[in-house]
Each structure stands twice: as structure tokens, then as C-alpha cells.
Amino acid sequence: MIKTIVSTALPVAERLLIRKNVISNGKGKGRFCIVTGTHGDELEGQMVCYEMARLVQKHIDQLDGTVEIYPALNPLGIDTIQRGVPNFDLDMNRIFPGNEHGTMVEQTAFAIYKDLKGADMVLDIHSSNLYLRESPQVRINVLNEEELVPYAKHLGVDFVWVHDAATVLEATLAHSLNSTGTRCLVVEMGVGQRINHRMCCHLVKGIFNLMKEMGIWNGETDLTDMETGELLEPIFCKGDRVAFLNAECSGVFLTEMRSGKIVDKGQSIGQIVNPLTGEILSDVKSPIDGFLFTIRAYPIVYEGSLMARIFQYNAEETEIVKAVSAAEQ
């Protein structure tokens, strides 16, 4: 059943509509919500929503509870290829839980928050941005580690990253929900404005797997990688174990590197070049032995632009990292 949770008049003969698809079956009380499209330039979640809506309805007898699919929290942003909310220059994921008496965007955020509150799980799917390509990962605020990591491990992503608490992130949808008793996992994968079918299909399997663990799905689930057939355990990262590679100068970043690769200390990640003079301005090298899970997708860089993130793993984690890397390639 399609439900409209926000309907606000726009100036000329149109309404801003935020809709969800509510699919229920059986006697189960569990409620699993999939949300995406907060940032209008992130599209991986569109395929995940489509596949979930299709598969859940196709195998409705295996559902015991409710799945709610919200493909577009910022529909005007998606339609206009804008990350933020058009007309407001505002990142919607920095104004939660919103304000029912605030500006139109704050009211919208409040309506979304109120609608999601009380779910047994909210999965908030992001796909980086236009600039960076990410391995499939779940990001968890350290404050919610104990509560959320056990769930995240069932999603079949490559990487679970428990990051430090930052005050600025308190205005995200995930923080607003987690801090008020509704579990929310944030998935990051792929790159903005594109859809990676393989990543999306694998996440869909992971979602069914998690739903099964939560007693909402009765069907068989298969978390083996589509190409390698291997059952994957995610790499777990906590603390100060990620190296950030920022551009030391402006230029064009050329790389053939892909995310999900093991790199050696000193290995070239790419080069920053000057197209006018033909010079190599910077040879970008890995500062550590590690697992590269973020790589720049948009080639133009300014001094400081992020080009890569590399996880420094230890000897005990080698086998897991190798397995994840093999599955990604």
C-alpha cells in the first residue's frame, strides 16, 4: 500500500510528496524500514528499493511483519540532481529531527522522523557523493556500537566502521533515531549519480538475511557473494586505523585503482597531473599496508580533496581482508 507521509504545496500546481510503500503479511509485529534519497545525488538506494519492493511482493508469503520502503526522502533533490534540498541550499541530513514549527524543510524532516520512529530497524542507504567511490560498508557511531554491530554483521557488507562521535553528526537521521530508541544502520556504498548493480543485489541479499535474523522474513537467504560464492564476514574497523589521503596540490587525479583492494605501503594510488604543462605534480602513495575502501571518482582535485581512505589491518585480520578483497575484484 502506497502511503504519503508528506504532502506540501509547491508554488505552481504541484505538491512535494514523500511516499512509502508499506508491505505487510502474517501476524508478525516486526517493522523494517528502508530509507534512501536524503541526498539527491545518491542513487544506489533506488535499485535496492526497487529490488526489495519487487522481491518482498513476489514472495509475500515469506514475510511475517511489515516492510516499509521510502525511496526518496528528498524527491526534489533527486529530480534535479542536487544533493541538498532545492531552494534551500540545505543538507537534509543535518537538520534532523527537524522541527514541526520550523521552516518547510525542518517540518518535512520532523514528519519523516516521526513516521520512522518506533520501527524495529531503519536502514538508511547512502552512496557517498559525486566525488568518492566506496566499498559497501556500514557506519556506526561509537555511542551505538554495542547495540548496532550485531545487526550490521548480518548485512553482508565488506566493512563495518565504528567511528568517533562528532557533535555535527547529531543532526543526522541516524543519530536522531538511535538516540531516541529506534535502531538505524547507515549503509554507504558505490558512488553518486550511478548505480552499481552488483553492490545493490548483494545488499538486497544482506537485507533479507538481516530480516530473517530479526524474525521478519521466513524465506531462504543467501549471503554468498554472487561471483565468488563465498560467505563473507565483514572487516571490522574501530578507532584510529584509517589513513586519509588528501591531495597535496590542485590538479587532475588520475588513477586506475578500485575500492576494495589490498595495497602495500609505498604503492602508487594515482597521480595528480597538470594538463596544461604535462607535469606530474604529485605521485600519491599509500602510507601504510592496508585495505583501500574509498577511492576518488571525480578527477579534478583541489589541495585537500580526499582521494582515498585505507584501513590498516593487523595480522589476525589478514584472512578476512583477503577474502573481502577477492570478492570485490
Partner 1 sequence: MRKEILFKMKSTYRDDFCIEGYWFGSGEKTACIVGPMRGDEVQQQYICSQIVKALQERESSGEIADGKSILVIPSCNPFSMNVGRRFWAMDSTDINRMFPGYDQGETTQRIAAAVFKHIEGFKYGMQLASFYVPGEFVPHVRMLSTGYEDLETARLFGFPYITTRKPLPFDTTLLNYNWQIWNTSSFSIYAGLTDRIAPTTSGQTVDAVMRFLYNTQTLVSPRADELATLSPGFNSAYIDEDSLTAVVAHHAGVYVRRRFAGDFVAPGEVLAHIIHPYNGSVLEEVRSDTGGLIFFSHHRPMVFQNAMLYRIKANGK
Helix and strand numbers (H, E) in the chain are: 7, 17
Q: Is 316 in the site for partner 1 (CB under 8 A)?
A: no
DSSP for 92-118 reads GGGSTT--TTS-HHHHHHHHHHHHHTT
Q: Is 1 in the site for partner 1 (CB under 8 A)?
A: no
Give the position of cell 600519491. Answer: 284
Stretch that binds partner 1, among 64-72, 143-151, 162-170, 231-239 (CB under 8 A): 162-170
Q: Is 165 in the site for partner 1 (CB under 8 A)?
A: no
Instruction: Give the three-state DSSP class for 140.
Output: strand
- Enumerate residues 6+ apart whose C-beta is below 8 A from 91: 39, 83, 84
Cα gap 203→201, rounded to integer Å: 5
**Among residue numbers 185 through 204, which ones bind partner 1 (CB under 8 A)?**
none
Least Cβ distance, residue 210 to partner 1 (angstroms): 28
Backbone angles phi, psi at 264, to 5 degrees: -100, 155
Q: 44-58 vs 197-213: helix axis angle to the nearest 10?
A: 50
Q: Is 236 in the site for partner 1 (CB under 8 A)?
A: no
Q: Is 95 in the site for partner 1 (CB under 8 A)?
A: yes
Least Cβ distance, residue 321 to partner 1 (angstroms): 26
Backbone angles phi, psi at 236, to 5 degrees: -110, 125
Least Cβ distance, residue 258 to partner 1 (angstroms): 22
| Window 237-276: contact mask with partner 1 (x via CB under 8 A) | -------x-x--xxxx---------------------xxx
Instruction: Give the three-state DSSP class for 215.
Output: coil
Cβ atoms of 85 and 105 within 8 Å: the answer is yes
Q: Is 306 in the site for partner 1 (CB under 8 A)?
A: yes
Which among 324, 318, 268, 328 is positioned nearest to 290, based on CA atoms?
Answer: 318
Q: Which is nearer to partner 1, 288 or 320 (CB)?
A: 288
Q: Is 305 in the site for partner 1 (CB under 8 A)?
A: yes
Stretch that binds partner 1, among 155-163, 222-230, 285-293, 300-308 (CB under 8 A): 300-308
Least Cβ distance, residue 206 to partner 1 (angstroms): 30
Cα gap 282→301, rounded to integer Å: 12
Stretch that binds partner 1, among 22-30, 95-103, 140-148, 151-159 (CB under 8 A): 95-103
Least Cβ distance, residue 41 to partner 1 (angstroms): 9
Q: Is 57 in the site for partner 1 (CB under 8 A)?
A: no
Which among 93, 116, 97 is positioned nearest to 41, based on CA atoms?
Answer: 93
- Enumerate residues 6+ apart whose C-beta is below 8 A from 158: 135, 136, 137, 232, 234, 235, 260, 293, 324, 327, 328
Q: Which is nearer to partner 1, 3 or 15 (CB)?
A: 15
Least Cβ distance, residue 167 to partner 1 (angstroms): 4
Cα gap 194→180, rounded to integer Å: 33
Q: Is 107 in the site for partner 1 (CB under 8 A)?
A: yes
Report which residue type is found at 106: E
User: Which position among 55, 90, 195, 223 is part of the footprint of partner 1 (CB under 8 A)?
Assistant: 90
Q: Is 84 in the site for partner 1 (CB under 8 A)?
A: yes
Q: Is 302 in the site for partner 1 (CB under 8 A)?
A: yes
User: Which position among 103, 180, 228, 268 is part of the footprint of partner 1 (CB under 8 A)?
Assistant: 103
Residues lying near partner 1 in the complex (CB under 8 A): 8-13, 16, 83-84, 87-90, 94-95, 101-104, 107, 129, 131, 167-171, 244, 246, 249-252, 274-276, 300, 302-306
